[in-house]
A and B are shown apart, each in its own frame.
Chain A
Amino acid sequence: MEVRARILARIRKALKERPKALLPEHPHLRLGEEPLDLFLRRLAENGAEGHLLNQEGAVGLLKELAHGLPGVAYGKGVPTSFRLFPELPPEAAPLGVSWALFAVAETCTLALSSEDGRKAQLLPPTHLVLVERERVYSTLLEAFSEQKALPSALGLHSGPSKSADIGQVMVKGVHGPGRLVVAVLT
């Protein structure tokens, strides 16, 4: 406790004469475009693949991605209708499938909960994320304002893993998935 008390005391002393600054509110921005269209467009800009699909189409996409693979790692929230392939541990799976809490058009972001399981989101080289159309928010502020309870970890993914640390050349799939495929479900 001693260190804590010392630090807090120094802060209070430092702030004694300092005028207090007010906390501004955040204005909600209007984007000039349908969130869904913007989201899909920005996914492509960020090097990811986005599709608007019904249930059948999404299962078809999964079949295409899993074709020839020994198995798939599933997030806990992925509906049984998608669990068509043998389940592999994420450490060994070439494909991970997750169920996103929500998506954000402004920043081209998928929000992935730790409740869904973190390894399937991170370890396989290809990541398929399913998100419901009604869960695509327009802005980050809108999405954050509506979250009531937060999981122990919320991962925001906005594209494939990448790095330009080797000679300024962009390389994909450095640690996380190098391929990100998104199915927005109608």
Chain B
Amino acid sequence: MRVKAKLYPKEAARLLQEKPSVRASVTGATLHFERNRLRAYGEIDAEAWRERARRIKDHVLTHLDHYLELAEKRLRENGVQVHWAEGPEEAHRLLREVVARHGVKRAVKAKSMLTEELGVNPLLESLGVEVYETDLGEYLIQLLGEPPSHIVGPAIHLSLPEIQRLFHDRFGTPLDAAPEALAQVARGVLREAFLTAELGISGANFLVAETGTLAVMENEGNIRLSTSLPRVHVAFVGIEKLLPRFQDLALFLPLTARAATGQRLATFVSLIQGSAQPGEEGPEEVHVVLVDHGRTALLADPEAWEVLRCVRCGACLNACPVYRQTGGHPYGYVYSGPIGAVLDPGLLGLEEAHPLPHASTLCGACQEACPVKIPIPKLLLAWRHRAVEQGLAPTWEKGAMRAFAQVMGSPALYRLFSKALRGLPLPQALQDHLPLLRAWTEGRGPLKPSPRPFHELWREIKEETHGG
């Protein structure tokens, strides 16, 4: 995938101006997810579950070599072909080989962020293979030629009218067709693809070392179909996806579902041990590709290694007031929102991704939501700090932040400064020339300061309450 993380502030501003409907769609969908998560967390001892999940992931990560070797051994015993990949190069080589050997003309794909990292679709298409994304949301954005905008709901930035227009143009459905009718059209196209594809491609939510089990979660049934009907199944698995014991799934499957969508469990979970037994339905060949692509570099990082606990539930995106304004596209890489802001600098390098850790108000909502307790705000600050050290922060910002710190540190200066600011609105021309203000006003209206400062209002409220 083309990386554009460096352009984040500009792209975010452009999106807000050019496609204002995205903000409404994304805000609506994420608030819905967030409400469901809160309800689902409320039903369990969420703190205990999250703490246990954190500890298990930390255990795996601090014994990663051991568990990878164990998983590989078990997978081989189960008849699975295991491959290792630094990144796209080895992944592509394997796919070329599979496509040639099995005469693959058609592939069905289950949603996987890792295959986005590896550019699996463009590679297959270059080999003349027809690739079908089979998750309904992924299928929509594939038709539009767009990247996913959310880890769990890749098409949440699209409104119903936009999808109705898309299907009208593609399949001739009426412009006011109901969602059910549109889903039936997609089902028809994709059912045909499932029944004829030679190759199924998936990611994995978890890989259990003890049993060599691939666990994949979904709600539509497309992953079960993609991993059951074609002759060959290739699963791409990040090396951080390991769990030690089969039992651990009894925690991670429900916890991830609760965090992601507020469900007690995803509607469908595939627990795959290997290729079909003689006389059984299922793929005759199963490949697992263990992929690094920046993960060992993150593991070596004394602070950022904790992001490798991430189970890609998207809860931090749903909780993030900054992500909610734009969805994932402006972040310019596969992973967006709070997790993208702390993961992408590690996977891509700070040079490429340094604006992303600034896409946050540090409100801490992401950390509260995270099922594996990743200290996202702390890591955002760590990346920001490193960016400044490496001279990657915009220079106006360094100056502005220093001035801000001085003002905030001195009550007298603060009052003076806030009085001066309430002389606003500043003339547009002046606002456009002050970089800090411009960064704020891009994509928003001009600043309209409150006529009276907060510290005055606060004093009044206090007096009122004490007096009454």
Do chains A and B stick together as partners? Answer: yes
Contact A15 B65 (CB under 8 A): yes
Total interface residues on A, CB under 8 Å, equals 66
Q: How far is B65's CA from A169's CA once the two chains are assembled, in angstroms?
A: 44
Segment 247-263 of B: residues with Cβ below 8 Å from A: 247-251, 253-254, 263
A-B CB contacts (within 8 Å), total count: 231
Contact B250 A141 (CB under 8 A): yes
Contact B160 A153 (CB under 8 A): no
Determine if B227 is an interface residue (Cβ-Cβ < 8 Å): yes
The proximity string for A residues 1-38 relative to B, scoring 1 for CB distances below 8 Å and 0 otherwise, is: 00110111011111100111111101000000000000
Contact code string A88-127 (vs B, CB < 8 Å = 1, else 0): 0001000000000000001111000011011101100000
Contact B29–A150 (Cβ < 8 Å): no
Interface residue from A6, A21, A106 paired with B59 (Cβ < 8 Å): A21
A139 CB → nearest B CB, Å: 7
**Shortest Cβ gap from A182 to chain B (Å):** 14
Given contacts A107-B265, A153-B273, A26 and B183 within 8 Å (CB-CB): no
B397 on the A face (CB < 8 A): no
A175 touches B249 (CB 8 A): no
Within 8 Å of chain B (Cβ to Cβ): is A133?
no
Residues of A within 8 A of B68 (CB): 7-8, 11
B134 located at the interface, meaning its Cβ lies under 8 Å from any Cβ of chain A in the complex: yes
The contact of A155 among B55, B78, B180, B268, by CB within 8 Å, is: B268
Given contacts A12-B65, A161-B219, contact A174 B52 (CB under 8 A): no
Q: With an 8 A cutoff between CB atoms, is A162 at the interface?
A: yes
Shortest C-beta distance, B456 to chain A (Å), equals 43
Residues of A within 8 A of B187 (CB): 173-175
Given A3, A13, A175, which contacts B134 in the complex, CB threshold below 8 Å? A175
Q: How many residues of B are in contact with the other chain, CB < 8 A?
A: 90
Q: How far is the CA of A24 from the CA of B275 in the complex (A)?
A: 32
B225 touches A176 (CB 8 A): yes
Most buried by A among B180, B190, B224: B224
A–B pairs, 6, beta carbons within 8 Å: A26-B250, A122-B221, A140-B250, A141-B251, A163-B183, A174-B183
Extra A-B contacts (19), CB below 8 Å, given A26-B250, A175-B191? A10-B292, A11-B68, A11-B296, A15-B62, A21-B58, A21-B62, A114-B281, A115-B280, A119-B229, A141-B250, A143-B250, A150-B246, A158-B266, A159-B267, A163-B219, A166-B163, A169-B179, A171-B180, A176-B222
Q: Which 5 A-B pairs have the closest CB atoms?
A: A176-B221, A167-B160, A165-B137, A14-B300, A21-B58
Listed in ascending order, the chain B residues whose CB lies under 8 Å from chain A are 25, 28-29, 32, 52, 55-56, 58-59, 61-65, 68-69, 78, 84-86, 90, 134-137, 140, 153-156, 158-160, 163, 179-180, 182-183, 186-187, 190-191, 194-195, 211, 213, 219-222, 224-225, 227-229, 239, 244, 246-251, 253-254, 263-277, 280-282, 290, 292, 296-297, 299-300, 305
